[in-house]
Amino acid sequence: MSSSAAPVQPPPPRPVRFGILGCADIARKISRAMRMLPPGAATVAAVGSRSEDKARRFVAEIGFPAARVHGSYESLLGDPDVEAVYLPLPTSLHVPWATAVAARGKHLLLEKPTALCAAELDAILGACDASGIQFMDTTMWIHNPRTAKMREIVSDKDAFGDIRVINSMCGFRASEEFLKNDIRVKPDLDALGVLGDVGWYCIRSILWAVDYEMPETVIAHRHPVKNQAGVLLACGATLYWADGKTANFNCSFLTNLAFDVTLYGTNGTLHVTDLVIPYEENSAEFSVASKSNFIKPTIGWDPLPRKHVVTTDLPQEALMVQEFTRLVQNIRDAGGRPEGKWPAITQKTQLVLDAVKASIDKGSEPIEVAS
C-alpha cells in the first residue's frame, strides 16, 4: 500500500526588519501602518534617536515592544538586524543620513521632500544604486487603489480623451505655533517650506496625470508669501508643455484644508477633493464627467458627472509599506533587482520642484525644466 507525500509548503515570508531613524510624528503613522500589515510583511526592529530616552518612549508608544533602542543614528545604522530604514529626518539632513543608509546596504524609505535640490537627490540615488538597494519616497496617495482606478479612467481615450489642463491645490491652515516653530518653516531644517511640503504633492499629482511626461517650462506665480526668515508659506506656478498642455498649482500653509486636483481632457473631466489624505481610511471617491453637453435650451447638463467610490482593506500608507516590503523581499529572497520606477518618478518630481524654486528666486522668470 503506497501513500503520496504531502506537498511541501514553502516557508512563510520573513518580515522586513525596519529601523526608524528619528522619532518624528509622521513615524508614528508609518509604524501604525506596519502593524496593520499581515504577518510576514514588516516589523520595527529598532528605533534610533539622538536621545535614548526619546527613542525608548517612542518604542513604548508604537506597539513594537521588542524593538531595540539606539541613542544615536550611527548606532542604528550599525545594527546588523536592521535591513531597511525609514528616514523621516528634516530635509537638510537627508543627504548625509540617506547616503549613510545606502553605504550600509540597507534599503531606504525616505520622507518627502527627498532633498533640497536635484543635485542632492542625485547623490542619494547614486548611493542607493551603487549599493543595489531599493529606494522609495513616501508619497502615499500613489499607492491608494483609487489612484489606479483614476488612471484607468484617464487612459480611456474615448471617454476622457487627451488631458489639456490640470489644476492642483494643496494647503492647510497652519496654527500660529506651526508658523513659528515647525521644522517646515525653519530655513536650516526644511528650507523649501510649503513648496517642499504640500507643493510636492501638487507637482507629483500633475506629473502623475500626464504619465510623468516632463513639462518644458515653468513660471512661478508672482508675490509668493514668505516668513521673516525667507521660507515659503504660500506659492504656486504654471507648467507648460510643447503640445499646449498646461498645469496650474497652488500650495499654502494659509488656507483651509484642501487637496483638490482637477483634470480636464478633450472628452472628460475628473475631480478629486481629498487626494493626499482621503476623507476616510477605507474608501475614497472622485467624480468624472464624460462627453458633457447642455440640455437644450441650455437648461442643464447631460450626462451628469458620475461619482466613483473605491474601497480598500488597508489605508494608503500601509499599502505603501506593503509594496516597499514586497520589493525588498524580492531582492533579499529571490535575487531580484531594485525597482527603478520609484527613484525615477522621485527624480522627476524634484526636477520640476527645482525649476519652480528657481523661478520664484528669479522673480517669476520662465525656467526650462532640466531633462
pLDDT in tens, 308-319: 999 999 999 999
The answer to whether residue 6 scores a pLDDT higher than 90 is no
Active-site residue, from 106, 112, 348, 357: 112
145-156 residue pLDDT tens: 999 999 999 999
Is the model's pLDDT at 365 over the cut of 70? yes
pTM of the predicted model, to two decimals? 0.95
Mean pLDDT, all residues of the chain = 96
Q: What is the 3-state secondary structure (H, E, C) of the chain?
A: CCCCCCCCCCCCCCCEEEEEECCCHHHHHHHHHHHHCCCCCEEEEEEECCCHHHHHHHHHHHCCCCCEEECCHHHHHCCCCCCEEEECCCHHHHHHHHHHHHHCCCEEEECCCCCCCHHHHHHHHHHHHHHCCCEEECCHHHHCHHHHHHHHHHCCCCCCCCEEEEEEEEEEECCHHHHHHCHHHCCCCCCCHHHHCHHHHHHHHHHHHCCCCCCCEEEECCCCEECCCCCEEEEEEEEECCCCCEEEEEEECEEEEEEEEEEEECCEEEEECECCCCCECCEEEEEEEECCEEECCCCEEECCCEEEEEECCCCHHHHHHHHHHHHHHHHHHHCCCCCCHHHHHHHHHHHHHHHHHHHHHCCCCCEECCC
Is residue 112 annotated as a catalytic residue, yes or no? yes
pLDDT (tens digit per residue) in 80-113: 999 999 999 999 999 999 999 999 999 999 999 9
For domain 16-138, give its CATH number from 3.30.360.10, 3.40.50.720, 3.40.50.300, 3.30.460.80.
3.40.50.720
Res. 12 pLDDT band, cuts 50 70 90: confident
pLDDT, position 11? 72
Domain ranges of the chain: 16-138, 141-368
pLDDT band for position 250 (50/70/90)?
A: very high
Average pLDDT value for residue range 237-262: 98
Across the range 356-368, mean pLDDT stands at 98
Question: 141-368, superfamily in CATH?
Answer: Dihydrodipicolinate Reductase; domain 2 (3.30.360.10)
pLDDT in the model for residue 370:
86
Average pLDDT over residues 328-357: 98
